[in-house]
Amino acid sequence: MAEEYQGWDEWADKFKPQDNHFNGQGKMYETYGEEYEYVKSIHPNFVWTYVDGDMSSLIIAGHHWVNRIGYYITENPWSDDMDACLLSVEEECVCYSEDEDVLAERNDEWGDPECEKCEGYGYVTNYL
């Protein structure tokens, strides 16, 4: 059975992402250039891909292309029973509406432009 981790901290405690030694500004590696060439040289079981999914952001085991934002290289490898880490989920804001009359008032915006929580977007990103 595949494991799913909830949030960066739980995942990072288990797999220990390495610092990006190219830029010294975090742990994520780019999807191009010398950083990407380095990622490709690493054994696949130490590579994770940060992806933008439908209404969520995830870190998934292995080297992937679709919807990739970047890569992480970890000290501890993943195994076949490890799958993903859910980082964030977008949820409808309390001001969200699909009502045609409300949308007409809001110039076809799902959220209320005066809403401090979503600033009119209609969705709120919750980080886990």
64 shares its domain with 22? yes
* Total count of domains within the chain: 2
109 shares its domain with 56? no
pLDDT tens for each residue of 115-128: 998 888 888 888 76
pLDDT tens for each residue of 69-121: 999 999 999 987 666 677 778 888 888 888 888 878 887 777 888 899 888 88
The answer to whether residue 1 scores a pLDDT higher than 50 is no
38 shares its domain with 63? yes
75 shares its domain with 114? no
Q: CA torsion sign, 68 to 30 to 27 to 34?
A: positive
pLDDT of residue 47: 96
23 shares its domain with 48? yes
In 26-102, the DSSP E strands lie at: 47-53, 56-61, 68-73, 82-92
Tell me the β-bridge partners of 51.
58, 68
Range of the domain at 75: 3-90
pTM value?
Answer: 0.73
82 shares its domain with 58? yes
The answer to whether residue 40 scores a pLDDT higher than 90 is yes
